[in-house]
Amino acid sequence: MVKSETKPAIGILGGTFDPVHFGHLRTGLDVVEALGLEHLRLIPCAIPPHRTEPVASAAVRRLMLELAIKNHPKLLVDDRELSREGPSYTVDTLLSLRADFADNPLFVLMGTDAFASLPSWSRWQQLTELAHIVVMQRAEEPLSLSAELAEWYEQHQAKAGDEKLPAGKVWSVPVTQIGISATQIREALQQQRDVRYLLPDAVISLIEQMGLYPPLANDA
């Protein structure tokens, strides 16, 4: 009797990556290792539905990602949202990924703030029909949910063995405490402060070469 082959699990981390930094990369790797993912797809969005428009162009943000993950076997850039018109809704991205990976377990990674705002997302309850959700939770970080989302979370909470399913569950995975954000990095660059050790050197070099996030004009 031939055993059915278990398809490799794939992680998905979307964002503006404006710019990409170690907070994105380290926490993503934490989830890869915790859940034994075959790889993690970093997906830069074109038009974020819940945020202001990115400062850097789509092409530049993609290039920053490629430089940041160069030669890492578990990380790759997926630019499908950049070639799609309209807002970059996660549910549409998952429908596209399902067309490519029909039977693979898919895991969508998000932070606690994003998860708490899930009911405001487009067709949010359809997400678990297409993938698992991974809530990346830092040490001592509370998970404050509305009553509606708390009940939904309890109904979908994963248990041992569920990682073999293609979709349907919510996982809470502890990740490294790295309290930085792309907004803070952009502000630091605009104020001409040193951003070394917050993001990869190759990304810093590109930012400097292209004059991204230039200093704020002097009001004096």
Closest Cα partner for 64 from 216, 212, 190, 194? 212
pLDDT-derived band at 3, boundaries 50, 70, 90: very low
**Which pTM value belongs to this model?**
0.93
Per-residue pLDDT tens digits for 103-128: 999 999 999 999 999 999 999 999 99
The answer to whether 45 and 9 are in contact (CB under 8 A) is no
∠25-177-189 over CA atoms, to 5°?
60
- Residue 11 in tokens: 């992680």
CA distance 100 to 98: 5
Residue that has been written with the tokens 């991205």 in this structure = 93
| Cis ω for the linkage preceding 214 (within 30 of 0) | no
Distance, in Å, from the CA atom of 69 to the CA atom of 202, rounded to the nearest integer, reads: 10
